[in-house]
Chains A and B, each alone.
Chain A
Amino acid sequence: MILRSFLDRFLLAVFWSAGLVILLVLTGIIGYLLLRGGSSLTLEFLTTAPKGLPLGTGGGVLPAIKGTLMLVLIAVLAAAAPGLITAIYLSEYGESSKFRALVNITIQCMAGIPSIVTGLFGYAFFVVYLGFGISLLAGGLSLGIMIFPVIVLTARDALLAVNEQYRLAGAALGVSRWYMLHRVIIPQSAPAILSGILLAMGYAAGATAPIMVTAAVISAGMSGGLMEPVMALPYHLYILFSQHISMEKAYGTALLLVLLLLFLNVTALLLKGQHGKGGY
């Protein structure tokens, strides 16, 4: 008995400290970024273009913010609808068919493709083959390919998590699957699906590899044309840092990027926390 309660306490301590370590790492990163980049994160930094020679030693990151937002928007527009349709197929239709098993495996594999490989594919297909050139569109679509499996898998699991009894009760009434889907299953899983989409957006916003070869440049105007190259936060950060242009600005950019991702992830978590609430 005594031994058992000791084991319980010991395990509790282990799990608790594991949580603590994660918390410390996260606050450590953010704290360090605040320390190094906090001072450069000013209103001017957010609202002006980079200046100076070499470019980036002065000014701000406004075009990169815009570029990242546009890239993420295009990625989500391209990936969300096909992702949801695939997820619905995987969770609701094609039971026990070989094709469904194949689709499941394909999506898992897609999720495991390194993002630089997605970038190379985007380069070969969008930039060269389709002739988009280094452009917002090519980068957004490459990011779309990258986040597609994330959206499918989170949405599929959200749909599968809906109480199976509902489906059976609906079937026993003789209503169609689509009616069940749009009146019960999708509304029930919507918060978790949206949360998955937000996580995917965060993933796209922070990804550097796929846009490095398809969309991002050191300096671009703010025309926002689909076929124009763009600036983007992670790439800007990479250049500032790797070419020793300005450590201060690099840390400011990193802080901004982390805050953006944190915002997306916390919103996603809050949404997911809503799941199953609302009295029903």
Chain B
Amino acid sequence: MSVQVKNWSVFFEKNPVLQNIDLEFNGNGIFAVIGPSGCGKTTLLKSINRTAELDHGFNCGGTILLNGEDIYQKNDAASIRRRVGMVFQTPVALPMSVRENVLFGPRYFGEKNKQKLSDICERSLKQAGLWEEVKDKLGQPAGELSGGQKQRLAIARALAVEPEVLLLDEPCSSLDPASTMLIERLLTQLSGTLAIVLVTHNLFQAKRVAHQTLLMMAGQVVEYGPTEQLFSKPSRQETADFISGLTW
């Protein structure tokens, strides 16, 4: 799997939010995006699955390629969104049962076979590390789950439609340390078979799980490289300042 972002800019009305972003993720693994609040991390993430354009006043320039295919060329945003899953900062449990949450996408995409649906449900929940906790209450309202469970349910719901890339926008920011650890372990496991882009405010989290890290500031790329290198031998002064806590 490769994601190439070329000369990508986003404006809301006339305000530039992202400016000439160039970057490339190749293969599976976890790619962390860090940067100060308001620098455009969420906008970058939402550009990759074409949900940014849902916001009022969105304008863009440049190209984003998914396995070499220009995702903004076709008018079909839905098929891109299906291939690029996204999990948000606040855990979202749809107002229905745990099972129906997971099967929300597959049912829409036409899966009717009961056995297959039940397989998808089990596989996705296992991948999301939630199966053991919910296997006896699949029919219960998802709203009754804890915050950490809801976030893993959101991951399971995204995985159920078998995306090629999974985007996560500060998935742990509303969770306690134990749930955070659980999700980090889960992401590490998933990264063997999936390309994951993780926006995080927690530099330690980026350090712990990410193979590559991207630092953004004010809508531009500051530095991008292997996590190890970015944190130990940053090549730009801004990066050094940011990771030592001077600029955030």
- Taking CB atoms, residues of chain A closer than 8 Å to B140 are 279
Q: Which of B65-73, B87-95, B111-119, B124-132 contacts A (4 or more CB under 8 A)?
A: B87-95
Q: Is the interface of A mostly helix, strand, loop or mixed?
A: helix
Please state if A175 and B95 are interface contacts (CB–CB under 8 Å): no
- Asked if B104 and A183 sit within 8 Å, CB to CB, the answer is yes
| CB-defined contacts of A169 to chain B, threshold 8 Å | 88, 92, 94, 154, 157
* Known contacts A279-B141, A280-B141; A173/B96 CB under 8 A: no
Contact of A94 with B by CB under 8 A: no
Give the CA-CA distance A175 to B51 in the complex, in Å. 12
Decide: B90 and A174 in contact? CB cutoff 8 A.
no
B96 contacts which chain A residues (CB < 8 A)?
Answer: 183-184, 280
Considering the chains assembled together, what is the distance between the CA atoms of A166 and B161 in angstroms?
A: 17
In the complex, how many angstroms separate the beta carbon of A101 from the nearest chain B beta carbon? 13
Q: Does A109 interact with chain B (Cβ within 8 Å)? A: no
B105 touches A166 (CB 8 A): no
Determine if B191 is an interface residue (Cβ-Cβ < 8 Å). no
Residue of A nearest to B104 (CB): A173
| A174: B residues at CB distance < 8 A | 77-83, 105, 161
A184 touches B94 (CB 8 A): yes
Interchain CA distance A165-B141 in the complex, whole Å: 17
Contact present for A187 and B56 (CB under 8 Å): no
Beta-carbon nearest neighbor of A96 in chain B: B56
Give chain B nearest CB distance to A207 CB in angstroms: 36
Contact yes or no, A188 B95, CB < 8 A:
yes
Tally chain B residues at the interface, Cβ within 8 Å.
32
**A175 touches which of B54, B57, B108 (Cβ 8 Å):** B108
Q: Give the residues in chain B near A95, CB-CB below 8 Å.
A: 56
In the complex with contacts A165-B88, A169-B154, A279-B144, A175-B56 CB distance below 8 A = no
Q: How far is the CA of A172 from the CA of B159 in the complex (A)?
A: 12
A168 within 8 A of B: yes
Contact call A175/B94, Cβ cutoff below 8 A:
no
B147 CB to nearest chain A CB (Å): 13
Chain A residues in 8 Å Cβ range of B142: 280
Q: Which residues of A contact B49 (CB under 8 A)?
A: 172
B83: min CB distance to chain A, Å: 8
Q: Which of A165, A171, A173, A279 contacts B54 (CB 8 A)?
A: A171
Q: Could you list 11 further interchain pairs (A-B, Cβ under 8 angstroms) beyond the known A176-B108, A184-B95?
A: A165-B92, A166-B92, A166-B94, A169-B154, A172-B85, A172-B88, A174-B79, A174-B80, A174-B161, A184-B96, A280-B141
Q: Can you list 8 A-B contacts (CB < 8 A)? A: A168-B88, A170-B94, A171-B51, A174-B78, A174-B80, A175-B78, A188-B95, A279-B143
